[in-house]
Amino acid sequence: MKQSIIKYGIRAFITASILFLAGFLIGKQIDLDFNTMAVFGYTSMVLSLIFVFFGIKHYRDHVNDGKVSLGKAIGIGFLISLFAAVGFGIVDYIYTTSINPNFAVEYRDFTLAQLQEANLSAEALNAKTVELEASMDMMSNSTFMAFIMFATVMIIGFIISLISAIVLQRK
């Protein structure tokens, strides 16, 4: 089991790191907006978490004589997801501290521009602006942002682990 987790976990880590960093760098070069970058980011998460399915399948077919229980499969998938989540967290931290330390300010400015274009009432616009400014304290903390990215990948990884476990379980 350990070998399957490490083998597919490292693949998930590398894929997550490369896709996420490439998304940031390419998006910055061709000036994509944050909404498009979010779609690319979630796509990168799912692509890197495909190794969860293959890791469970490898364990079932090549290590455990064609059998895997639901719980064991979820555990394997969750641990492989951990590798991808660490990759995303590290890249997010490096990006927001070294490559683009102004990320939080750029995101705030983009969001404020979207709010102003939304034709909200003055009261609603003011409330949303106050809410955004309050959340900026947390967003300007690179460690917090890396943790949020890590947690997001782990949640999606758990969902993919559960689905993969249901599909691949054999007793």
Q: Is 130 domain-assigned?
A: no
Q: Is 136 domain-assigned?
A: no
Q: Who has greater pLDDT, 113 or 8?
A: 8
Q: Is 119 domain-assigned?
A: no
**Within the chain, where are the H helices?**
2-29, 34-48, 50-58, 70-94, 103-117, 122-139, 142-168
What pTM, to 2 d.p., does this model score?
0.87
Neighbours of 131 (CB within 10 A): 11
pLDDT at 18 over 90: yes
Q: Who has greater pLDDT, 47 or 23?
A: 47
Mean pLDDT, residues 38-62 taken together: 94
pLDDT at 157: 97
Q: Is 108 domain-assigned?
A: no
Q: Is 148 domain-assigned?
A: yes
Give me the amino acid identity at 101.
P
Q: Is 133 domain-assigned?
A: no
Number of domains making up the chain:
1
Q: Is 7 domain-assigned?
A: yes
Query: Can you read off the two tokens belonging to residue 23?
Result: 């998304």
